[in-house]
């Protein structure tokens, strides 16, 4: 996810663009850039570099940009390392057109090949750069708007664009398809941006573009049409949010916002990785034979990523038929791990900078293992030290408590397990189809759970006073119990333990009394009866039970008053849905207890030290 902004008016663009970029930093911050046009000289100038927006600010202080028209961008890299060449804006060959982009161009490789054959010279590894060369190709005999419209017909994927050309220095063009774009309506000035916060310093009057719309902004006019040229009339909305609220898009915390981003994040992964009924990992193709030759898998990770890895064990053993060991990175690195050239090591990390996981990967590489990373941050240390990387494309995760990165990691593991099962010919086409059909339903089922959040909030409020929690789960939802306990303890500071429910009689049952809240994860499952027995043992000792189960599981529902239901889903994929009520339960308990949800005490978003 990136942040884009554009300005056209009577004031100098640079300061307005920079302030707006700072309001978009939550969307991505590995590199940034700006381009302005000095109208009377019809000259385009650009500044861009890796690093946070303050590095761009320092550069602009040293080498200011002038002009009353400009665009700017803060990047969350998806294609191409975070560096100066890959930073936006991107220019055409003659440096007359500049573009900023938020989204992913899925067919950029073939477009790039065609354009190179036509003589275009590319400077970056990004997907975005193909757009500005396409516009250049058509701008020779078409207006900027018409050239843009023609270029759009070639693109597949998602894009919110800001475009300027020094051949038409009185226009700022905005395009929306699959990524958000808002137009800010000012007095003798107009703007466009990825999100409301970037505009609030200038105006509260905003027009929200819809998909397939293109806006042409001048100093005193805004002209919106569809891609096919049909005029669009839309009144500006008056925005009442203050800036900090708007950065969270109206959510009270980044954690709640990121919980709600899970359906589109999961949808995006499915859209990217499933083509014509098959799971496609183009990034793995060059290493296909090497991966196929592996005889065992070993997953290393920390914290929430470790819990995703535990879910991955069940998925990979069931679907790919390979033995899977899962290790805490901090343990793996200090024992003599039995990995070698026949081992595929999967390193899972949202940040890609966790010291223990990096150390574990180095240890495994020294022993000859093949490293596959599952990571959310392109260009992070882990991605540079791995043999292949599967990105989670979850966008920046700002809240310390990991939510959307966790379910995105599990989704990637589901897809990889299906891919490996087919590669190893242990999963037939029909079985894969059955699983893919079930997987495709997940985003809408997740959305359905989020709509019931008020019921979960009420249950959380009724249990926020408990001094300790026990989370119980079985089979593929044993890791869900561990993750639920971690979510609660790290943001509400309540002691919470996750346990395999079958372990109850081996110790934890001694803890049960009326002062202990027990979360029982009991979805539709072939071992449902075992969970019902556990629940009855807890009831007999007056434990306060919260059950998470599947709609229609009347026998389970009858076991307690406090019930949270998830929609029916393939059991293998149930952790993807169970995660949501667990996240919301932790969130609302922490709110009730007045905790700092996004920045819990003693914690950091990325543990880059041992
Ligand atoms: C999870 O909510 C925590 N923030 C923490 O356990 C985190 O998952 C762990 O530090 C691993 O981080 P990584 O995914 O960036 O490697």
Which of 354, 394, 403 to mutate for ligand 1's pocket (most ligand atoms within 8 Å of CB)?
Answer: 354
Mean per-residue pLDDT for 391-419?
A: 95
Shared domain check, 432 and 324:
yes
Structure confidence at residue 496 (pLDDT):
98
Rounded Cα distance, 47 and 59, in Å: 8
- Distance, CA 488 to ligand 1 centroid (Å)? 14
- Looking at the fold, whether 35 and 97 belong to one and the same domain comes out as yes
Do 210 and 282 belong together in one domain?
A: no
CA distance 59 to 366: 41
302 Cβ inside 6 Å of ligand 1: yes
Q: Which atom of ligand 1 lies closest to the CA of 302?
A: 11
| pLDDT score of 610 | 67
Q: What share of the chain is helix, strand, coil (3-state, %, to 5)?
A: 40, 25, 35
Compute the average pLDDT of residues 165-174.
96
Nearest residue to 295 via CA among 351, 338, 335, 332: 338
Query: What pLDDT band is residue 375 in, cutting at 50, 70 and 90?
Result: very high
Q: Tell me, yes or no, whether 423 and 521 share the same domain.
A: no
Read off the pLDDT band of 609 (50, 70, 90): low
Catalytic residue among 2, 298, 375, 414: 2
Q: Is residue 142 part of a domain?
A: yes
Of the candidates 415, 440, 465, which is a domain's last residue?
A: 440
Q: Using a 6 Å cutoff on CB, does residue 350 contact ligand 1? A: yes
Quote the ligand 1 centre to 536 CA distance (angstroms).
Answer: 34
pLDDT the model gives residue 498: 98
Residue 231 has pLDDT above 80, yes or no: yes
Same-domain check for residues 596 and 537: yes
Q: For this structure, is 414 an active site residue?
A: no
**What pLDDT is attached to residue 249?**
80
Nearest ligand 1 atom to alpha carbon 403: 2
56, 89 contact by CB (below 8 A): no
**CATH at 29:** 3.60.20.10
389 lines ligand 1 (CB under 6 A): no
What is the percent of the chain with per-residue pLDDT over 90, rounded to a whole number?
Answer: 84
Q: How far is the CA of 55 from the centre of ligand 1 (A)?
A: 27
278 within domain boundaries: yes
Percent of the chain at pLDDT > 70 equals 99
User: Among the residues of 351-427, which ranges form H helices?
Assistant: 355-366, 381-385, 404-423
Which domain range does residue 275 map to?
250-440
> Taking 80 as the threshold, does the pLDDT of residue 526 lie above it?
yes
State yes or no: is 605 an active-site residue. Answer: yes
Q: What is the pLDDT of residues 256-284, one digit of tens each?
A: 999 999 999 999 999 999 999 999 999 99
Is the pLDDT reported for residue 241 higher than 80?
A: no
Question: What are the backbone angles phi and psi of residue 244, rounded to the nearest 5°?
Answer: -65, -40
**What is the model's pTM?**
0.78
pLDDT in tens, 16-51: 999 999 998 877 788 999 999 987 778 899 999 999
Number of domains the chain contains:
3
What local confidence, expressed as pLDDT, does residue 81 receive? Answer: 85
Residue 337 Cβ inside 6 Å of ligand 1? The answer reads no
Query: Residue 436, Cα to own-chain centre: how many angstroms?
Result: 21
Using the predicted structure, report yes or no on whether residue 462 has a pLDDT greater than 90: yes
How far is Cα 585 from Cα 581, in angstroms, rounded to an integer?
6
Q: Is the domain of 355 the same as that of 371?
A: yes
pLDDT value of position 442: 98
- What is the predicted pLDDT for the residue at 1? 73
Return the higher-pLDDT residue of 247 and 475: 475
In the sheet that holds 182-185, the strands lie side by side as: 43-50, 31-38, 69-75, 3-9, 189-193, 182-185, 205-208, 237-238
Whether 305 lines ligand 1, by a CB cut-off of 6 Å, is yes
In tens, the pLDDT along 557-582 reads 888 989 999 999 999 999 999 999 99
Alpha helices in 63-205 (DSSP H): 108-117, 129-139, 144-152
Residue 497's pLDDT is 97
55 and 12 inside one domain: yes
Whether residue 446 lies inside any domain: the answer is: no
Same domain? For 26 and 168 the reply is: yes
Same-domain check for residues 241 and 255: no
The radius of gyration of the chain from alpha carbons, rounded to an integer in Å, stands at: 26
Domain CATH code at residue 510:
3.40.50.10490
Structural domain includes residue 146: yes
Q: How far is the CA of 382 from the centre of ligand 1 (A)?
A: 14
If DSSP codes are grouped into helix, strand and coil, which group holds residue 336? Answer: coil
Q: Is residue 596 domain-resident?
A: yes
CB atoms inside a 10 Å sphere around CB 228: 9
Does residue 357 form part of some domain?
A: yes
Q: Which residues contact 487 (CB under 8 A, 6 or more apart)?
A: 304, 401, 403, 582, 583, 585, 586, 587
Mean pLDDT of 586-594: 98
Q: Does ligand 1 have an atom closer than 6 angstroms to the CB of 351?
A: yes
With a 6 Å cutoff on the Cβ, whether 582 touches ligand 1 is no
Question: Does the beta carbon of 258 sit less than 6 angstroms from any atom of ligand 1?
Answer: no
Average pLDDT over every residue of 360-373: 97
Nearest residue to 498 (alpha-carbon basis) of 516, 466, 520: 520
Q: Is residue 13 part of a domain?
A: yes
Could you read off the pLDDT of 197-228 as tens digits, one per residue?
899 999 999 999 999 999 999 999 999 999 99
Catalytic pick among 52, 154, 367, 605:
605
DSSP secondary structure string for all residues of 259-318:
HHTHHHHHHHHHHHHEETTEE--GGGGGGHHHHHT--EEEEEE-HHHHHHHHHHHHHHHH
Average pLDDT of every residue of the chain: 94
Whether 445 is in a domain gets the answer: no
**Which residue in this structure is represented by tokens 């033995």?**
323
Q: How far apart are CA 297 and CA 284, in angstroms?
A: 16
Whether residue 258 sits in one domain with residue 212:
no
């Amino acid at each position: 996810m990136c942040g884009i902004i554009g300005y056209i008016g009577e004031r100098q663009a640079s300061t307005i663009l920079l302030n707006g970029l700072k309001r978009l930093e939550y969307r991505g911050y590995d590199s940034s850039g700006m381009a302005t046009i000095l109208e009377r000289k019809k000259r385009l100038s650009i500044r861009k570099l890796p690093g946070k927006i303050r590095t761009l600010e320092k550069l602009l202080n040293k080498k200011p940009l002038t002009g009353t028209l400009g665009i700017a961008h803060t990047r969350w890299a998806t294609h191409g390392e975070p560096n100066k060449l890959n930073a936006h804006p991107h220019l055409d060959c003659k440096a007359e057109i500049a573009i900023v982009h938020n989204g992913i161009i899925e067919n950029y490789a073939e477009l790039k090949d065609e354009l190179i054959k036509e003589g275009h010279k590319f400077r970056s590894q990004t997907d975005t750069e193909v757009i500005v060369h396409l516009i250049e190709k058509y701008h020779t005999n078409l207006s900027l708007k018409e050239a843009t419209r023609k270029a759009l017909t070639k693109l597949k994927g998602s894009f919110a664009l800001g475009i300027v050309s020094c051949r038409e220095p009185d226009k700022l063009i905005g395009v929306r398809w699959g990524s958000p774009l808002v137009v800010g309506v000012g007095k003798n000035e107009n703007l466009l941006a990825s999100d409301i916060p970037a505009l609030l310093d200038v105006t509260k009057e905003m027009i929200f573009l819809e998909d397939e719309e293109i806006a042409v902004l001048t100093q005193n006019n805004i002209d919106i049409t569809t891609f096919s040229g049909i005029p669009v009339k839309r009144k500006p909305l008056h925005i009442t949010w203050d800036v900090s609220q708007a950065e969270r898009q109206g959510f009270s915390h980044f954690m709640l916002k990121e919980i709600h981003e899970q359906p589109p994040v999961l949808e995006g992964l499915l859209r990217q990785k499933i083509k014509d009924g098959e799971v496609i990992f183009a990034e793995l193709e060059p290493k296909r034979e090497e991966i196929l030759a592996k005889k065992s898998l070993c997953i290393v990770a920390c914290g929430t990523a470790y819990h995703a890895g535990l879910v991955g064990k069940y998925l990979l053993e069931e679907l790919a038929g390979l033995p899977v060991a899962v290790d805490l990175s901090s343990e793996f690195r200090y024992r003599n791990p039995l990995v070698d050239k026949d081992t595929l090591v999967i390193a899972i990390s949202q940040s890609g900078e966790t010291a223990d996981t990096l150390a574990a990967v180095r240890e495994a590489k020294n022993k000859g293992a093949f490293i596959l990373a599952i990571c959310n941050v392109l260009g992070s240390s882990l991605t540079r030290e791995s043999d292949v990387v599967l990105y989670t494309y979850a966008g920046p995760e700002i809240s310390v408590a990991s939510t959307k990165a966790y379910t995105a990691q599990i989704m990637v593991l589901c897809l990889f397990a299906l891919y490996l099962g087919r590669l190893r010919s242990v999963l037939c086409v029909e079985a894969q189809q059955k699983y893919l059909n079930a997987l495709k339903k997940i985003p809408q089922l997740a959305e359905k759970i989020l709509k019931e959040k008020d019921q979960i909030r009420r249950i959380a409020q009724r249990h926020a006073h408990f001094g300790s929690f026990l989370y119980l789960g079985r089979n593929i939802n044993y890791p869900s119990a561990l993750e639920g306990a971690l979510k609660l303890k790290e943001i509400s500071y309540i002691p919470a333990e996750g346990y395999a429910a079958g372990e109850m009689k081996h110790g934890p049952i001694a803890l049960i009394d009326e002062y202990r809240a027990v979360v029982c994860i009991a979805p539709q499952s072939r071992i449902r009866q075992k969970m019902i027995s556990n629940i009855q043992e807890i009831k007999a000792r007056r434990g306060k039970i919260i059950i998470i189960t599947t709609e229609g599981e009347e026998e389970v529902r009858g076991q307690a008053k406090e019930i949270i239901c998830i929609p029916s889903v393939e059991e293998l994929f149930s952790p993807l849905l169970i995660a949501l009520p667990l996240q919301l339960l932790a969130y609302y308990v922490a709110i009730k207890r007045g905790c700092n949800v996004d920045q819990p005490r003693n914690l950091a978003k990325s543990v880059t030290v041992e």
